[in-house]
Structure 1
């Protein structure tokens, strides 16, 4: 199927189009910075909130501190089903803007209150924005050329880690209320930047707005709206939406069926599905297989331990490396994440998703195993503990921390993309809440070192699973990816 569809020649990526797509991606990724600010904030406020000199009306208990680090995931979980509805009905652009509002509301509540309960409510509300920000990767994947789609989608991780680093830095050098002012201002700027972007052409074709889709394609690819290339791209998107697509793939390139699919007559124009996304998903073998693979990979990525280091960075460094400033260690950690994510952007479309996932899972497993033994037996100096923390997060971010999100945005048919993303992200928030909530209790029960042994075992499992079940998707269109999942036996 994918070889035949190549007869509809792909748009060649012009330097000007590359620049426009990068700028548009940066505008969308600035929303990811807001997620970084939200995730960094508990790290440098926990000590204040627990102390008798807290800015709050009463100090937080251990249970409330656990909720502070994890309730955002509950908010994200509750909002994720609505994300699919919003992105399918309001459009990729306006849904992304809409999910910028919870960030503004979060900081407004935190500024106005000294109540522990209201602080926890604000953190929960911020999770709604986090859910929408992750779903906005669909927007990026649909405006990016196939040859750079992986890197552009991975750039969202760079936005998040930039926000994490700036958030740690602000926490170390600004007052409590100055941090809130700065974060609220940047949340408003993120929403304004999104307003200047055209809507995703895939969504516009999905809702039948062909003229608007033509203008969108011409904008993102720097082409004349009346050009043959734009017309061909519209046709390619329509083919991906054609309900006969999977039947043709399963028929192993039946020439007659393929000929009908590619027919260019006006009366035979392909029409998108009229069924619900749930019904399409139940009927689509490729989408169900892709969903199973991405679910396992997303869960494995979370359970490797990196989210714990992000949310509890300062207290973790204080215990693991007491000889160093915990705030500076946290800033260096975020810088580590940021540089690694930029490297991932540059290499993901060169080495591919599968190879990078396997290699970084093994590397992360080795680092976690060494870190566990070091925390358990203290066989080297404190500097080595810090080195292993940085090494793990560097290797993790190069691949297994980013690739599941890239796959989530690219492997599904357009009609079920939002639904599958909602299912995957809902599972992610549940797992994140569980991990962050039990982490402190688990450390008290078995110790910090053995916890990292558990993280290490998940890393090695992820490497094996990626080798067995993950097909290579770099540079492929949605229809070609479906063919791979139909062939892959899980």
Structure 2
């Protein structure tokens, strides 16, 4: 585990770089929220389009970005490993520019729908861009900076909802177009990820990138040590040592001594690396299970039904105002997650928020079924569940996805997780909409509550704590034999 603390200067530099990368996540928020503020106009006879949209068109307007994201997800890992973290992030921001440009120039419904599908390509890239953040961050603040991507997304939603209440249709589009271009220009100012540069053998550039992100002299020993650390994570002998060694206290010294003489790394595909790596397979299985559980905790379905529930509970409050408050709720929770994740750890927050979400969904289910409390309490529970869920379960699976894999397979495994997320979100909505019609919304939330508590139990016993650990140290946690031996050693010492 990294014992050293991040210095103020490098904290500021890495935070600024993270803010720029998270600006891309804002673009995703813009795309996600835009249909909500335009649907009334699109359905009316006074629409800005060539003709009013049908109900099918409106449904496609919100769902086509998911299709675009799903189609491109398998190629994200290839792009990030081929073009680099920086240029791939810029490349995946371009679809936002093209989407808003098309929408600004046309009134054709098919073209507007095609632009929204194109924007989904950017959404897929944003989900993988968190790798960039994780690789430029100091281990002690990596979780918080990576989690900032969620805050960027919710900030984008909040901005769009707010703009929708004050600006005209075209003013909102031009604002989004300008911000998407600005995002690319800002990312262009950042150095490439040093991990990627070492991965492709450009160590001189990697040293300059490390010097920038760590605020060090490029010729300093700290820069050399950081490059050596990255090389160690890519050494083919690493996993064998992690599996064989039984004493965590001497692990670092043994690994450093054994790997002092470097061996030439074979140029292999990420898939071949993945097939040979036990830790990567176990890490991927853990992340997929956590991701599936978090999706099935009910937030996706609640978002679908939030508007009718708000209308029933607070009919006097405008829909736009409810949406702004909900976006603000998500944003505040995500910011608190950023502040708490490196202090309390991923595991603790997962357990706490999964259990808290279970309590909220059980109460919400009972309220929807029996109406045992005033109508305003329904709104309170919706905001409460959204806050607790976003504080941990909504964000931490993505943080784990960015940090638990070795550099050679990081982009590949991230793409697998993102594709799985798209598919599982779709399956969840397909399954639960008919289920709601069959048994009612209240009983369905009882099921969500059960899933939440299962998630808390799974996190307690199967998710390792990765707070402050480097990539090589994290691999040891996913090697079951090592974890068992570590526990045995600790119990003997006690």
State the TM-score, normalizing by the size of structure 2.
Answer: 0.91
- Alignment partners' CA distance in 2, 1:414 and 1:439: 37
Residue aligned with 1:226, SS:
coil
CA distance in 2, matches of 1:82, 1:352: 32
Partner of 1:14 in structure 2?
7
- The alignment status of 1:227 with 2:225, answered yes or no, reads no
Q: Partners in 1 of 2:251 and 2:433 — Cα distance?
A: 61
Which residue pairs with 2:338 in the alignment?
A: 345
1:43 equivalenced with 2:36 (yes/no): yes
Match of 1:130 among 123, 131, 138: 123
Please say if residues 5 and 140 of structure 2, whose CA atoms lie closer than 8 Å, have aligned partners that are also in contact: no
Preserved contact between residue 471 and residue 484 of structure 1 (Cα < 8 Å): yes
Aligned CA distance change for structure 1 residues 446 and 124 (closer, same or farther; 3 Å)? farther
| Aligned partner (choices 192, 195, 198) of residue 205 of structure 1 | 198
> Which residue does 1:140 correspond to in 2?
133
Residue 292 (structure 1) aligns with: 285
Contact 1:323–1:382 (Cα < 8 Å) also in 2: no
Counterpart among 329, 335, 354 of residue 328 in structure 2: 335
CA–CA distance in structure 2, aligned partners of residues 282 and 333 of structure 1:
43
Q: Equivalent residue of 1:393, what SS?
A: helix
Distance 2:442 2:313 in 1: 10
How do residues 406-421 of structure 1 correspond to structure 2 at under 5 angstroms?
406-421=399-414
Contact 1:412/1:420 (CA < 8 Å) preserved in 2? Answer: yes
* Matched residue, 1:282: 275
Go from structure 1 to structure 2 and tell me whether the alpha carbon gap of 1:306 and 1:173 turns closer, same or farther (over 3 Å shift).
farther
Tell me by how many angstroms 1:22 deviates.
0.4
Q: How much does 1:128 deviate?
A: 0.5
Number of the residue aligned with 2:465: 472
Question: What is the CA–CA distance in structure 2 between the aligned matches of 1:311 and 1:217, rounded to whole Å?
Answer: 44
Query: What pairs with 1:410-449 in structure 2 (closer than 5 Å)?
Result: 410-436=403-429, 443-449=436-442
- 460 and 71 in structure 1: CA distance in 2 versus 1, 3 angstrom threshold: farther
Structure 2 regions of 5+ residues with no counterpart?
Answer: 485-494
Of 368-377 and 476-485, more deviation after overlay is shown by: 368-377
Higher alpha-carbon deviation: 23-32 or 101-110: 101-110
Aligned pairs for 1:302-451 (under 5 A) are 302-310=295-303, 314-436=307-429, 443-451=436-444
The 1-side partners of 2:167 and 2:309 are apart by: 22
Provide the rounded CA distance (Å) in 1 between the counterparts of 2:296 and 2:52.
30
- Structure 2 CA distance for partners of 1:145 and 1:270, relative to 1, 3 Å: farther
Q: 1:73·1:432 contact (CA, 8 Å) conserved in 2?
A: no
Question: Deviations along 1:101-152, whole A, 9 cap, x unmatched?
Answer: 1111111222233333323222211111011111010000000000000000
Paired residues in the alignment total 480
More divergent stretch after superposition (323-332 vs 296-305): 296-305
Q: Following TM superposition, by how much is the alpha carbon of 1:251 offset from its aligned partner in structure 2, in angstroms? A: 1.3
Instruction: Work out whether residues 69 and 436 of structure 1, in 8 Å CA contact, stay in contact via their aligned partners in 2.
Output: no
Partner of 1:462: 455
CA distance in 1, matches of 2:67, 2:292: 16
How far is the alpha carbon of 1:253 from its aligned partner? 5.5
Q: Deviations over 1:294-335 (max 9, x none)?
A: 011112222223234556654553344323221111101111
Displacement of 1:244 after TM fit? 0.8
CA distance in 2, matches of 1:102, 1:421: 20
Q: After alignment, is 334-343 or 102-111 more displaced?
A: 102-111
1:446 shift after superposition: 4.2
Q: 1:279: Cα distance to partner?
A: 1.0
How many angstroms does 1:471 deviate by? 0.6
> What is the TM-score when the length of structure 1 is the normalising length?
0.92
